Chains A and B, each alone.
Chain A
Amino acid sequence: MLKVFDISFAIGDKLLLDNVSFELKPGEFLAILGANGAGKTTLMNCLCGLTRPSNGSILLNQRPLSDMSRADIAMQMALVPQQQETAFAFTALEMVVMGRTPFISTFESPSEQDVIDAKSIMQLLDVGGLAQSDYNRLSGGERQLVLLARALFQSNRLLLLDEPTNHLDFRHRYQVLSQVKRSCIELNTAVIAILHDPNLAQLYADKVLLLEDGKVLNYGERDVVMTSENISRLYGIPATSYQVAQTEFFIPQNVLGQAPSKVVIITGESGSGKTTLLTELIQQCHKDGIPLAGILCPGEMKDGQRFSSDIVDIATNERCLFGHRTGVLDKKTKTRFYFTEQGMALGIKALSPKDIHTKTVCIIDEIGPMELNGHGFGHQIAPLLAMPGSRHIWVVRPNLVSQVCRHWSLHHPQVINITDIDVLEKLIRFAKNNQEYTQT
């Protein structure tokens, strides 16, 4: 039906889509999930031929989309747009009849038969009674059903839905998507839907594509892709899954007032010996046989400033150059540091939940402005927090502590200043998982 090969789209030097590929067969429901600004709408625009991808190709029934005329595309692929008011008061029936447009020649108008067909499709979607009502005066749910009726009237082969459940109430949200799913099953319609709620994807989708900063984070069968690790990472908020009637539903950890992930934040001014302290902690833990993971960034100081830094994978003890000060503000990372690719890769590997055992204490040295802006290791943190029974020791600058707590929804984490005399002892106790410690 639809094949997408490595499409990229850039505006200026800003890459909005980066090598996105997927494939869709008739009758399949593909959900596209992603945080705001991840490129979902850009991807949708490329798919329906509104914008042309800078690279890559899209094949619709073995024909490249770029070779097809607008009408050709419209005959096979219908879009349910985000609903908005029209400037003029068309009736619902007139809106649905417009689905016929690609099939009639430029100077023709739809026939009476078209009107009758449109009415029967509206009947099918339970909006037959609205035929003569002013579209602008319908409720959000009714409008969405009318737009869906138009799309199905236009083509029941491939439907694109752009955030179909926006502004819909509880009942309509499920009504609209159930209708879509019904045509998947009964008419073998292929569907691509941008959804905001991962739980709706769980209920309706066959395949899921997770989009992060224009790149495909994960794509495949729903049950493979939809894990709490991926969801936590995608939305940058630790989420847990619960099973209801054989379906996993995702909920952010902090919402249900679940016991917070145990996080200790060590804070102190630059050069106050935080990394030295952690090194001592690591030695102590090795002696006591406490499993550790995470990263350590021992640096070289010059004139009271960090000049260059290495990165160490605590679990494997691999070490390489992480970065050095350039003095020039990097627009992307908002720091005056240059980071090596090798160092970033080592860090990402050290902080990926797959390589960390659940009972391990995870150390991150350190979480800075870069992570808060979604760069650096920002994407790794939420999935780590989502791991059940995980414990974390983070190094954070004093002025960022409250921001970090808010960003990852930490529920009153223990904050220890480096000048605290008992700091090492406290950390060792935490690492040994003393229950009474976390009660404070």
Chain B
Amino acid sequence: MPVIKKYTLLSIQSVAVAIIILLVGLYAGRFAINPSDLLSAIQKLPSVLIDLMMTGQVSEELTQQERIILLIRFPRLLTALIVGAGLAVSGAVYQGVFRNPLVSPDILGVASGCMFGAAMGLILPGSSWYTVQLLAFVCGLSAACVAMFMARKFGSNSILLMLMTGIIIGSIFGSGLTMLKALADPYGELPAIVFWLMGSLSASSWSTVAQLAVPVVIGYGLIHSLRYRLNVLCLGDQQSRSLGIEPAKLRLVLIIISSFIVASCVATVGQVAWIGLVVPHMVRTFAGANNMRVIPLSTSIGAIFLLLADSVARSSFTMEIPIGIVTSLVGAPLFAFLLFRFRQGGSY
């Protein structure tokens, strides 16, 4: 089967590219590092991780270079990798579930909910970074739940209705966010909110990686094993029922999983736009519509995309640019290019 072989090769290639970019990212940066330091740091990685897990402290003697690699760059790059992968895969799932290649993961108001929750966390007195993330996560998930619940209450469980209720919920949380901004202290809280909304990976640590990895990896595992059913769901309710699938149930499961992933990503690093929309799109142009391929490839390419975007964000200017701006600046023109190619006779 030439198709399968080509696809396996592609997957291996994309994972290899992600690892190379990761290594380059560890090595390159404003703080110069010797290749030998990189090597020794990677050797020390397992023991440092075990230390962190057991005690929360690093007991081993580390040089400054090793510290930068192991405690700053590595977790940050991993966070970028996981967030990129998570947003891209949930984008692919949302597009399949809503049978529309122009849908992005915040269609059910997840992102608006997260932003509202984070802003609330930043304003509430005595809340820590952790409560900000928790509030963002909870608000994001509840936004999606309310949107789905409303669609159910309004009668059918139809896709169109869900899109509508998603817009309603998104706009309610959006105006809530604006109100919080208006109420915020303009010298301390308001800038914090604005910066959080722009998205940043600079606060990433190993604990960020841990709290992200759990939902994203588990969610991805479920999506990966359900990805063939997603193909059938793409054909619409009538056909998937006649092929023996309960579309409403499957749709609900998939939406819950991917909303979970999106909420944990956005709650951790803020708004990172365009990945969920552009990456699956891009994958479809060279791998076809089959989700057997689209799901794994979107994941790896999403990871690559955000790794690259983060490298640009932290090294192109003297000041670090918010990651959300980079992804928008790259993603939007890329999307335009893909649409242009589509018009010329390409196909999703």
Q: Which of A86-94, A242-250, A330-338, A426-434 contacts B (4 or more CB under 8 A)?
A: A86-94
**Which of B99, B226, B238, B347 lies in contact with A81, CB distance below 8 A?**
B238
Listed by A's residue number, 17 A-B pairs whose Cβ atoms lie within 8 Å are A48-B241, A50-B241, A72-B244, A84-B236, A88-B99, A88-B348, A89-B347, A90-B288, A90-B289, A91-B288, A101-B229, A101-B243, A102-B243, A109-B292, A134-B347, A137-B347, A160-B242
Find out whether the CB atom of A70 lies under 8 angstroms from the CB atom of B244: yes
**Cβ contacts under 8 Å, A84 to chain B:** 236
Find out whether the CB atom of A98 lies under 8 angstroms from the CB atom of B232: yes
**Cβ contacts under 8 Å, A78 to chain B:** 242
Find out whether the CB atom of B244 lies under 8 angstroms from the CB atom of A98: no
Is A344 engaged at the interface, CB distance under 8 Å to the other chain? no
Closest-by-CB residue of A relative to B280 is A88
**Interface flags, A26-50, vs B, CB<8A=1, else 0:** 0000000000000000000000111
Find out whether the CB atom of B226 lies under 8 angstroms from the CB atom of A74: no
Q: How far is the CA of A94 from the CA of B290 in the complex (A)?
A: 8
**Cβ contacts under 8 Å, A69 to chain B:** 244
> Residues of A with Cβ closer than 8 Å to B?
48-50, 69-75, 77-79, 81, 84, 86-91, 94, 98-99, 101-102, 104, 106-110, 112, 115, 132, 134, 136-137, 154, 160
Q: Which 3 pairs from chain A and chain B are nearest by CB? A: A74-B244, A102-B244, A88-B289
> Residues of B with Cβ closer than 8 Å to A?
1, 3-4, 96, 99-101, 225-229, 231-232, 234-236, 238-239, 241-246, 284, 288-290, 292, 347-348
Q: Contacts A50-B238, A98-B235, A136-B347 known; A87 to B243 CB distance under 8 Å?
A: no
Find out whether the CB atom of A98 lies under 8 angstroms from the CB atom of B246: no
Q: Contacts A89-B348, A101-B244 known; A106 to B226 CB distance under 8 Å?
A: yes
**Which of A79, A109, A154 lies in contact with B228, CB distance below 8 A?**
A109
**Cβ contacts under 8 Å, A77 to chain B:** 242
**Cβ contacts under 8 Å, B1 to chain A:** 112, 115
Closest-by-CB residue of A relative to B228 is A109
Q: How far is the CA of A71 from the CA of B242 in the complex (A)?
A: 8
Chain A interface mostly: mixed
**Which of B231, B245, B284, B348 lies in contact with A70, CB distance below 8 A?**
B245
Given contacts A90-B288, A101-B229, 15 further A-B contacts (CB under 8 A): A70-B245, A71-B245, A74-B242, A74-B244, A86-B289, A87-B99, A87-B100, A87-B234, A88-B99, A88-B101, A91-B288, A98-B235, A98-B243, A109-B227, A112-B4
**Which of A70, A74, A88, A101 lies in contact with B96, CB distance below 8 A?**
A88
| Minimum CB–CB distance for A223 against chain B, Å | 32
**Which of B3, B99, B231 lies in contact with A98, CB distance below 8 A?**
B231
**Cβ contacts under 8 Å, B228 to chain A:** 101, 104, 108-110
**Which of B99, B243, B347 lies in contact with A74, CB distance below 8 A?**
B243
| Minimum CB–CB distance for A272 against chain B, Å | 52
**Cβ contacts under 8 Å, A134 to chain B:** 347
**Cβ contacts under 8 Å, B246 to chain A:** 70
**Cβ contacts under 8 Å, A87 to chain B:** 99-101, 234, 348
Q: Contacts A49-B241, A101-B245 known; A107 to B232 CB distance under 8 Å?
A: no
Find out whether the CB atom of B290 lies under 8 angstroms from the CB atom of A90: yes
Closest-by-CB residue of B relative to A80 is B242
Q: How far is the CA of A109 from the CA of B230 in the complex (A)?
A: 11
| Minimum CB–CB distance for B240 against chain A, Å | 8
**Cβ contacts under 8 Å, A86 to chain B:** 234-236, 289
**Cβ contacts under 8 Å, B235 to chain A:** 86, 98
| Minimum CB–CB distance for A146 against chain B, Å | 12
**Cβ contacts under 8 Å, A81 to chain B:** 238-239, 242
Closest-by-CB residue of A relative to B222 is A107
**Cβ contacts under 8 Å, B347 to chain A:** 89, 134, 136-137
Closest-by-CB residue of B relative to A160 is B242
Q: How far is the CA of A185 from the CA of B248 in the complex (A)?
A: 37
Closest-by-CB residue of A relative to B285 is A89
Closest-by-CB residue of B relative to A104 is B228
| Minimum CB–CB distance for B185 against chain A, Å | 47
**Cβ contacts under 8 Å, A160 to chain B:** 242
Find out whether the CB atom of A89 lies under 8 angstroms from the CB atom of B244: no
Q: How far is the CA of A132 from the CA of B289 in the complex (A)?
A: 12
**Cβ contacts under 8 Å, A112 to chain B:** 1, 4
